[in-house]
Homo-oligomer: A and B are copies of this chain.
């Protein structure tokens, strides 16, 4: 199967598939004409990767998860560890963003948004000592 078909069936764009090959996530065969030749198994792996990426796992996490996916003797605790770690990082990001949102929302609300220059947003960003 050619890369275009695989892209359609896995949901992973051709460019990305080539990139995944570059970094060693998948290893398609080469056919005589120089085209990559993919199998069903490649489609599965790519779809797997697509979902893992959609859940925000890093490429390195994906590498680990893919090897666990292929490993009949994996222990679910290995998978769980990766996922829990990722979950923690997502929660940290959410916390950071929520704190930003809180500050921003407050500032935006306080800002008149008219034609005058006075602006609580600018003031908040300015070093207070200027007020001296």
Known: A76-B111, A76-B117, A115-B77. A68 touches B122 (CB 8 A): yes
- A118's contact among B48, B76, B81, B94, by CB below 8 Å, is which? B76
Q: Which of A86, A100, A114 has the most CB of B within 10 A?
A: A100
Give the copy number.
Answer: 2
Tell me if A87 is interfacial: C-beta within 8 Å of chain B: yes
Chain A binding surface, main DSSP class: helix
B97 touches A93 (CB 8 A): yes
**12 A-B interface contacts by CB (under 8 A):** A44-B126, A48-B126, A48-B127, A51-B124, A52-B125, A55-B103, A65-B122, A69-B122, A75-B116, A90-B97, A90-B100, A94-B98
